[in-house]
Structure 1
C-alpha cells in the first residue's frame, strides 16, 4: 500500500498496449511501475505531448495500476558502482564512457556506440558501472 504522500494512477489500455508493456517489462527486467514512471518523468522535456494521447474510445478494459515504489536495477553482477558520467567520447563503432564514482575516482569503459545512444549517456547523467570479471559495463535506470 502506498504512503499517504504517494499517489496512485490508474488508467485503461487496449489489450495490444498492455501486451507491449508487459513484453517490454519482461525484456528489460523492470516493472510496469518503473517503465511508466520513467516515461512520466520524461514528459517535462516537452511543452506538449510528443504523440497524441489515446481517447476513451481507444481503451478497453485492461487496467494498469501504478504504485509509487522504486525497485532496484536487476543485474546478476554483485559489483555495481553508481557514478556520474564525466566524459563520453564517441567513435565510429564504440564509445568510451568515463564515470566518476567518488571525487577523483573514475572508471572508463568501452561500449558500443548503439548502447551509449540507447542509454542516452551524456556528461552529468547518473549511471552505474557494473563490474563482471574483467569487464566493466554501463547501466542506467
Structure 2
C-alpha cells in the first residue's frame, strides 16, 4: 500500500476536519456543562441570599407572635381579675341571700308564733266577752227584793 501524497493530504485533511468537528462539538458540550454549572451556582446563590431575608422574616414573625402572646396574656390576666372579682361578689351576694333567707325563715316562724298568740288572745278575749256578757245579763236581771 503505497500512499500517495494526495491520499495522505486528503486523509490528513479529513482527520483535521474530523478533529475540528470534534473540537467544536467538545467546545459546545463544555459550554453547555459550564452554562449548567453557572445556572446551578446562580440558583444556589439566590437561595443563599434569600436565606437572610427568611431569617429576618422569621424573626419578624417571632416578634409579632411574642407581641400577640403578650396581648393575649394581658387579656387573660384582666379576665382572671374580673372573674375573681365576680366570684367575690357572687359569694357576697350568696351570703347576703342566705342571710335574707334565714331572716325570712325567722320572720315566718315569728309570724306563726304571733298568729298562734293572736288566736290564743282571740279565744281568751271571746271567753272574757262571754263572761262579761253573762255578768251583764246577771246584773240586768231584776234582783229579788227582800
Give the number of the structure whose alpha-carbon radius of gyration is greater.
2
Indicate whether the TM-score tops 0.5: no
**More helix by percentage:** 2
Q: TM-score range by the shorter chain?
A: under 0.3
TM-score (norm 1): 0.15
Q: With CA pairs under 8 Å and 6+ residues apart, which has the higher RCO, 1 or 2?
A: 1
**By percentage of residues, which structure has more strand?**
1
Q: Calculate the TM-score normalised by the size of structure 2.
A: 0.15
